[in-house]
Amino acid sequence: MLRTLVYLGFPVLLAGCTGPLSTLDPGGPAATSIATLWWVMLAGAAALFVLVMTLYALVIWRPDWGARVSPTRWIVLGGLGLPAVVLTPLVASALVTGERLLPLGSAEPLRIEAEAQRWTWTFRYPGSGDIKTEGTLHLPVGVPVDIVVTSRDVIHAFWIPRLAGKIDAVPGHTNILRIRADVQGRYQGLCNEFCGSGHSGMRFDVVAHPAADFSTAIAHPEAGRK
């Protein structure tokens, strides 16, 4: 019976790892790094849980063994040493992943401006004249893009779960997030900072085009909605 429940439960759980807003279904290198970090953290948490449960079982089943360990050793080894063995590599992995997400490098990437305003997003493409799109962000596949994020009213947050982490949109200030879409197709983005009554509907579409078609796509954005 238990085996049957496990077999039936795994597909249900895995189904939650896909979808337009799933961080575990990455479409670019930044999101892949974040997803990898999540799996590493999950593995570390599982390892720490198993170690703690093993000690717990030993104390329950062999109380004489637990009594021989002094309180000082329980605090130093169990409370400090054991977590340090697991948490140290996890912190190192998180720092390395965080560095990879920063907009570093000598090459000047494509820049796109993202301006938030309750309850819409406006995207401008400075390298392509005065072109702007409302509610739809167009990206070239395989090309690093710096998204310059700001806001006209209150604090919002720019987030495309399948492409990168989130970054705040702050009035009077610009934040830069580097993303790259490696898979052609459609994604979804949203505001991830509560900004008022219309927050839940403050979403936008993301269309990743072949790099050769990008200029045409932003010049005729209505074609990208089909």
- Mean pLDDT per 10-residue segment, the chain (226 residues): 48 57 86 87 85 83 77 77 80 79 68 94 87 93 93 95 93 92 93 92 94 86 56
Q: Would you say residue 105 lies in a domain? A: no
Q: 190 and 148, same structural domain?
A: yes
pLDDT at position 8: 47
Report the distance separating Cα 204 and Cα 147, nearest Å: 14
Q: 136 pairs with which residues across the strands?
A: 205
Evaluate the CA torsion angle 149, 113, 139, 177 in order and state its sign.
Answer: negative
Spatial neighbors of 102 by CB under 8 A, at least 6 apart, are 178
pLDDT at position 104: 61
Sheet with 132-134: list strands edge to edge: 132-134, 120-124, 110-117, 145-151, 175-179
Q: What letter represents residue 32's amino acid?
A: T
In terms of residue numbers, what domain contains 185?
Answer: 110-225
Total domain count, the chain: 2
- Residue 74 is classified by DSSP as I
Exposure of 78 by Cβ count < 10 A (0-12 exposed, 13-18 middle, 19+ buried)? middle
Q: 172 and 121, same structural domain?
A: yes
CATH number, domain of 202, equals: 2.60.40.420
